[in-house]
Chains A and B, each alone.
Chain A
Amino acid sequence: MPALVVFVLFFALVTVMGFLASRWRRAGDAAHLDEWGLGGRSFGTWVTWFLLGGDLYTAYTFVAVPAAVYATGAAGFFAVPYTIIAYPLVFLFLPRLWSVSRVHGYVTPADFVRGRYGSRPLSLVVALTGILATMPYIALQLVGIQAVLDVLGLGGGENANWFVKDLPLFLAFGVLAAYTYSSGLRAPALIAFVKDALVYIVIIVAVIYIPIRLGGYGHIFDTVGQKFGASGGKASLTVPDNAQWTYATLGLGSAMALFMYPHSVTGVLASKSRKTVRRNMAIMPAYSLMLGLLALLGFMALAAGVGKGVKGYNAQLSVPQLFADMFPDWFTGVAFAAIGIGALVPAAIMSIAAANLFTRNVYKEWFKPAATPADETRIAKLVSLLVKVGALVFVLGMDKQAAINLQLLGGLWILQTFVAIVGGLFTRWFHHWALFAGWAAGMVYGTWKAYGIASPKTKHFGGNAAEIPGIGEIGYIGLTAFALNLVVAVALTLVLRAVKAPDGPDETKPSDYSAEAGDDELKNAPEPVAAH
């Protein structure tokens, strides 16, 4: 019981914070979408660090990464090289995205594509890809909360009727929806402080305390090695030689996809200067270290015998169960609160990002060009509610496996916007028709390949790696699709340039991409910086 009390207390705390957040660092024009959807573009280095950490390292990550290690061993550890590669990689282009977005008032990546290439269809598909990739991700945050609630014994077990079973989930999401609606991006930014602090405390305690109870790291790895050896399955303590390509391409592809996700871009654009963005790329690895330690918890769960002898044990419950088995009851409550709140922060930011995309790039662009900033904010708030209801229906109405499959696909899909966005940040050489064709080729190829992969749990979309044509190794489908995307875009651009196909207008100029807060370029920016 203490676990439940602690859990509920933390939830109550962040709920209060969520509503109070609307008064935090409030600026002049509350009706502007920059305010609700980007927190007034005012966050400094530390707020951004907490916000991005809260945003990128989600509850699902906390559950799924150690679950992958629990189930597959070394192969599941790819999350670590993935996050190591990500920050040096995005260091190259995120500052440019921040600058051009600040100069032109872009709120979403699709806004940038619209401005850079003057192409409405290209902007639309970038926006829709973003929404499509984000929706299942929000749904998976619910799966993270559900895993915790399951282990806590809330919801009355398998036989309870669906309403009682899912009531805690309804409550959590209802509250989340309400404060996101009223406070916008400020709510998750403020709650992220609590979330990240809790997560750090829990992980540090876990990686010291649990190994002591289990007889040290040496013993843990020995036990796991024996178990993997005895099971004769695919799991092992190092990556099998024929899976090294998979390991590397998953790391690289995921790293490239990470900052294509709309919620990541939202976190970046909310920062107040170009310098803030760069500094964060240097300090974000603190979270990666935590993620790596967290992954090791999968081994600890194995060594501790969690799920031993249970047929078809759900690996996603392994770490919550490990906490419940190992920690004193009250600290289990803290750990579960960390996971639960860890679901709320990204779910809020994702729904805001999806709402921004819909409002700016679908509603305003295609249905109501005359929408005022106040209209935009009103619509975005409503859409953020709809998106969350949609995610809830998705998780409750559909198979959980479908959400997991779709999230895997989402990573593959969002990676197909890389050429248009990152390419556009450096050059205007690509023709927008070619980019569109490249995107389509990547989407179709990737989805088709993923469809053909079966796993014990699902007939289709059961994995994310397949043979790379021409190389013969097994690699991440998303990255192969990206390569195809790039080749198509380059080849068609050459053709289109040769036949002098008409090009769209480019509203940006070279100096926009290096503009810093306080520069002349920003004097005529659509919305002045909030006064702080």
Chain B
Amino acid sequence: MPSDRPLDEDVMPEPAGKPVPAVTPERVLAGLALLVPIVAMLWVSSYDKKDPAVAGMPFFYWYQLLWVPVSAVFTVAAYLLITRDEKARAAAAKGGAR
């Protein structure tokens, strides 16, 4: 949401000591990215069936196996978002110390 933080990116460097709020879009998105695989796996009734089978393997099995790499993609997304967030925090903290 660019409108939430007007012009921050344009002002270089950031105003010294400006604290980053606890809830940032990056953190929220990272949290969601982590939540998706967990919810998908706990919702057992959504995948507890045999059809459609792929190459003879019932849905139940290939669907869960497929979620392994998919969950990794979500975790990588969370990693990138959090790294970005921490960089912003570190920059803000440094500004504050000066």
Q: Which of A285, A293, A516 contacts B71 (CB 8 A)?
A: A285
Contacts A248-B44, A278-B82 given: A84-B56 contact, CB under 8 Å?
Answer: no
Asked if B55 contacts A218 (CB within 8 A), the reply is: yes
Q: Which of A25-33, A48-56, A85-93, A189-197 contacts B (4 or more CB under 8 A)?
A: A85-93
- Report the bound CA distance from A216 to B79 in whole Å: 38
Q: A74, A77, A237, A283: which contacts B72 (Cβ < 8 A)?
A: A283
Task: Give per-residue flags for B8-50: 1 if the beta carbon is below 8 A from chain A beta carbons, else 0.
Answer: 0000000000000000000000000111011001111100111
Q: How far is the CA of A288 from the CA of B34 in the complex (A)?
A: 16
Task: Enumerate A261-298 residues with CB–CB distance to B below 8 Å.
Answer: 275, 278-279, 281-283, 285-286, 288-289, 292-293, 296
Q: Nearest chain-A residue to B89 (Cβ)?
A: A514
Q: Chain A residues with Cβ under 8 A from B65's Cβ? A: 80, 289, 292-293
B47, chain A: closest CB distance, angstroms: 9
Interface of chain A residues 51 through 100 with chain B (CB within 8 A): 74, 77, 80-81, 83-85, 87-89, 91-92
Task: Tell me what chain A mostly uses at the interface: helix, strand, loop, or mixed.
Answer: helix
B61 touches A77 (CB 8 A): yes
Contacts A77-B64, A288-B68 hold; do A91 and B75 have CB atoms under 8 A apart?
A: yes
Which residues from chain B contact A91 at a C-beta distance below 8 Å? 34, 75, 78-79
Are A84's CB and B44's CB within 8 A?
A: no
When distances are taken between beta carbons in the complex, the residues of chain A under 8 Å from B60 are 74, 77, 237-239
Q: How many of chain A's residues touch chain B, expressed as a range?
A: 35 or more
Given the complex of chains A and B, what is the CA–CA distance between A260 and B86 in angstroms? 26
Contact of B41 among A84, A218, A285, A286 (CB under 8 A): A84
Q: Which residues of B contact A (CB under 8 A)?
A: 33-35, 37-38, 41-45, 48-50, 53, 55-58, 60-61, 64-65, 67-69, 71-72, 74-76, 78-79, 82-83, 86, 89
10 interchain residue pairs of minimum CB distance: A218-B56, A81-B41, A88-B34, A285-B72, A217-B56, A244-B44, A282-B75, A289-B68, A282-B76, A248-B42
Beyond A221-B56, A237-B58, A286-B72, 6 additional contacts (C-beta under 8 Å) are A218-B53, A220-B56, A241-B48, A248-B43, A289-B68, A292-B68
| Interchain Cβ contacts under 8 Å between A and B, 8 examples | A77-B64, A85-B42, A89-B34, A91-B79, A279-B79, A282-B72, A289-B68, A289-B69
Residues on A close to B: CB < 8 A? 74, 77, 80-81, 83-85, 87-89, 91-92, 216-222, 237-239, 241, 244-245, 247-248, 251-252, 275, 278-279, 281-283, 285-286, 288-289, 292-293, 296, 514, 516
